[in-house]
Structure 1
């Protein structure tokens, strides 16, 4: 979800104004998922690199995350949305971590859209943390190193209970993946669009999903 800051600046507003507009857009996109046949949606809310931003912007984002959880919890459950968080939680403040835990528990029974929110997340960081856990299991004799293959590491990733993404959408005209779901997206389709996130309407979302549905996915094989 890229372009919140630029969206605000073009309107003569502070960057946090754009982040609040982006948060409102999240709700609309989540609610559109069932009609589009989207069962799993992962949104990149805050990366491990975003700590480099100004203290004011970071503090504002953390406040926005806390506010979002409090305000949207009931609506999420009413829409049968199950929420999960991925990322390095120990790096976040205790109050936010507690709210994240509470929202996950509050929506644990929901069977509709699976919404995953990546906060303090980085693909390289995730793989490094997963590798540490895997190494500990090897050291403790719980895992035979000779049996480690490409199916092993995913069981240690933050996304271990989620399917790999089929489609990755990046808004705002940036054509890079920026450390997002590096392992999981090996065979994902990508869509880079010019639209800034606060302007990413359900109609645009539907167009992108329909475009994806027309693609042929061969996973390295040959079409028959």
Structure 2
């Protein structure tokens, strides 16, 4: 499995701004190893970072993009599902029984759900609101999404085990086509080795190691 080392920070009261300007990010490893196995066109830079303290783990995506697409649906999940977004999936093990999905758009809206293999999604499930926080900002040439999740909630869901979290890290980019419709380019950290785009499969996960 691909691995990413999550560094420990001693900072206690960390308040995210969504702007990527907190000093904790200087202590994080930079991950830019993203690709689109199903599309030959070059992708713009995606930078992922993570750190943790005694209570929470913090994630940041900085995504180069000068044409952010937000789908104008009034229904939140429909809008997020057809918008540019970043995604984190967490699982206990390769059986995916179950796994938990966070799909977050540049407006910091969350589509969270519990899942089982073969795309059995439970949208009635939500990450406990007191255990997650998301902030974001959109600039002319990029957007940033920052996420804070309590370690307690990860442990309760059996996702943080022995200092490790099995995690999928993804990006969806919606591009305008000649027919005036927007179609997604799917961009994972780990190439799942599938013929068609598929994040909902055990081979799309890597490993976060809390140092």
Bigger share in helix? 1
TM-score (structure 2 length as normaliser)? 0.26
* TM-score normalised by the chain length of structure 1: 0.25
